[in-house]
Every structure is written in C-alpha cells, then in structure tokens.
Structure 1
C-alpha cells in the first residue's frame, strides 16, 4: 500500500486582486510541500509582494482561496498568523533596543513566558551568530546583522512556514551568504519557506520549486533545472578584442544555425545559443583560425536561470513595471 501524501504546507488557488484599474493578481496558483523552499520570481510589479500579503493575511484577495500550514487564509486568519513567520523586504527591528531586547519583545508578544522568552532569544542569537552584538543597540548593526536579527524574530515561535520577501535586498555578499545559510538550516529542520527574490542565483541555490510570475499570473513553474531545460541548447561565448574582426566573427556565428548571435559592443563579447555543443565550438574556432581572428577567451556553458527568466518573461528580473507595494514594516 502506498504511503499517504502529506498535505501541502502552502497552497493557493486562483488568487486575484485589483487595485483600482490595475490588476495585481490574475489567478495565481501555488503549492509547496513541507520542508521545501518555494521560490517566487518575477520582475518589479509582477505581483510577488501582493501574493505574499494575501498569503500572510495582510491583504484580502478579490477571489480565490489559500491555505498556510493547513489554515484557510480567509476563514482562519488567526490560525495562519500563529503558524507563520514573516520577514519583509526591510528589516523590522527597533533600533533603540538591543538585539536581545528585540527578540525578547517578539517572544513575549507571541505569548512566551519571561524565562522561555529569554531562553529562546539566546538560542536565536547564537544560531544567527549575533551573540557578540546581543547587548548592543540594533541601530548600530550592519545591514546584514539587522537582516539576520529580523529573520531570527520571524522564527521566535518556531513556525512551520516562513515567508521571506526579498530577504537579501541591499545586502553585501557576506550578508547574503549568511541569510542563505540560515534558510538552509530552517529547511533542514523541516520548515517550509516561501521565498520571493529578484536574485536569480538565490533562487537557483535555495529553491526546490520555482514559480515565475508576470503581470499577476504564473507563466512557468518547475525546478531550476527544468526551467533551464526549457531554454534549450548551450551558450557559446567568446571575446574578440580587435574591432576589425567583429563583423567577420558575427558572420561565422550566424552561419551556425537559427540562433542569432548577440554582441556586447563595449567588450567585444559574442554570445550565441547552440544545439550541438562541442561540435559547434570546434567548428567555430577552426573558422576563426582560418580568418586569422584572435580570440581572447571562449566558454561553452549550459543555460542559466537568467537565460530561462529572460526567455519566459522577455526581460531581466530587475526590470518591469511599477514596483510591488512593499510588505508593511513591522510585519511578523
């Protein structure tokens, strides 16, 4: 007898939302299994943050249904809030309080007793590498430290589902790496994470399933590998530094097939999609040698999530219309 399937930790069906004449959501469907990361990608204004606000009960949809940790978003909003940790685009910390006091306050608001709140605060400060700064005012923290403190606050009540809305926006590489490590630890402990991001590398590194939203609707879903496979082919990139050789190089690359080469005029780097990998590379280098065209570097690589995103939406992740409304400050 087959093992029964566990119910999704996150589920949304046909979510729609309008703000006046603007349609923010146009029938969004989502699903995430327990202990996984669901990545939501989309250009600015695609509907990512509106989706988060609906799922976290901060905004009521015009139509559709959703469940978080088994609780109906519309019928049982209190149950959703008890089961949810939320970290918005901007770190919601009280700059006048120390890191320890921030976490203690959140713990008490969640209903923990004084001793339990102190213990939990200490655990989180240690887990997020904030022990040395625990008794400093959080207003003196770096951006990465503030983000880690905010994320720690979202985990005070050990929620089964955590929503992270663009959690590494504005962080330096170290802060981003620290946040990624924290997310991986959460998932390893069985927490389900809903992650919205514009950093494609972030989704590639963390998400088990990725949903791409554009103009308020889902245009693609799958693992990072599946989305990349939809692009097809490999990317042949090479750099020709001498300006006189660029026209001839473009002709050679154009002769490879149906894919049109792209040229970065500033660097002299050509990029073209090929369906024949090593054969194309060998042929291209042979033609360039015969034409006495020097190549500074050459790379043959599989498509990236960047390529997939561009193919699916026609624009890079940071482009788009008006930005989504930011998640309310102080939301947990």
Structure 2
C-alpha cells in the first residue's frame, strides 16, 4: 500500500486516524498504542503478508539482543546482534548479487535464489542496528515490548524512511498529549502530506513517463533528447523522494508524532558536503554516527580510508549492483574534492 494509492488515502488513513483518536478517548492511550501497532502491521502486510514473519523475526531478535546488552553490558551481544542484522540484510538484499559475482570470478554456475526483497528491510534493519549500538553505549534502557514494537513498525516511516532513533521516538509514546486530537498538528500534517502528494503524483510520476519514454528509445536520440531524458530522470528521483519524505512527516503529524526531516532542498547546496547533508539526511547521519566515526573518523590519519568505506557502503545500501558501488566510489572522490 503506497501513500499515494486510493486505498491508503481514502480508506486506510482516515479509518486509522478516526479509530486511533476514538480508542484513545474511550479506553485510554495504551489501547490506542496497541491499535496503532496493529494498524502498522496490517499496513505492512497489505503489500505481501509473506514479508510479515521476516519483519517480526527481525524485531524479536533485536529486542532480545538489546535487552541482553542493557542487562550484561557485554560486547558479544552487540556483535551478535549486528552480525545477525548484516547477514539478514545480505541474504535478502544481496544474495543474488553475490552469486552472480561468484559465478563470474570462480566460473561456477550457482542458480539465482530469486529472493523477493522484503518491503522496507533496509530501514527497519538500520533503525534497529542503531538501537543496539546505543544500548551498548548506555544511551537507552530496557523498553517495553509494545513501545519497541511500535517504534520499529510505526507505518509512516516503514516503507521509505526516514531512519528513526529510539531516543527520539519512544519517549513520544509515553506522552498523553500524543493521544489527543490536536488541530494544529493535524492541519500541519495535512499540509505536509498534500505538498508531498503533489510532488509525487503530479511532478515525479509525470517526469517518470518522460524519462521512461526516452530510455526506451535510447538508440535513436538526439543530444537534446538525451539531455532532456537525463534531466527528467533527475527530477523524477528528486521529487519522488522529496514527496515521500514529506508525506511521511505529514502522516506522523496527523497522529501527533514528530518524524525527523529527511530531505532539505539538496539542489540548493553550496558544496558536495552540504548536498550530502541535505539529501537523505537520516541515512547520512546514520553512516556518519554508526560507521564513519566508529571506524575512527578523521583521527589516526585514516580520514580518506574511512570516508571511502562509508561512501562505498552508502552506495551499496541503495541497491545490489556494481553501478551502486561505483556511484558510492565516485561520491567519495567528489566528497574529497
């Protein structure tokens, strides 16, 4: 179920909002929280219910690992939790990519596993990995099962981000004001949502039609048509991600929750560094705080190595293919420049 689909706009969202506030008013915040968990799980399952066990297994393993980290302060639990997340992500997102490269390098003939990529796996995996690291650093406590489940599954962020952090989201679940209808938040949320919807449906989707038409006839293009297609594709990506990011913020505001801003007019950037700070803000922050700095940052004379590893990882995060690796490497060189 996409944010711009009729099912979401005219059925799922209004029913969810109505029942959320009605349940909170009639029975209390705890039941409204349970309802929002149920609604989020239903939202995720609508895409493909076969993905639900994958999400729930990830949540169960990370919740247990986080509890053990908080209780024992042992690094082994952190390593085990992160290893699980990386292997989990590698299997579902990169298995066929690895097999293709193994076949090429080793002249083998491994068959594709043809794994269907679970919806939002990168987002809920990174969200939980950050939680494990923070737990080891002593920056969290043992959350309740319901708080943790809602933190990971809350539907505005689940399919396209942003990457959210426990210290920003979970405290909101305990505030009674979140369960009372707030006209100002609702009005702001609708505004954010409508602006994002316009960017997605009117601009991005139209640009997608133009770009697809050009790419389908790539062998017979003039130079102006080629540049036009490239520009259309650029604008499609820009307004698609910008639109989804704003719709997510708007939906959360309608529910009285604050999601982090994930997109801030990157084409207004004055430098490549400023660009990365504006485009997919939560991913850039994750890579910086949970990869670049733990690698050593700019200390010990390994600044360029650490940037290279971080940017290559960021490139691969976007997709399983050498084009993404090359893009990450190219971004690293631009960053240094």
* Higher percent of residues as helix: 2
Relative contact order, CA 8 A, sep 6+: which one is greater?
1
* Higher percent of residues as strand: 1
Q: Which entry has the higher C-alpha Rg, 1 or 2?
A: 1
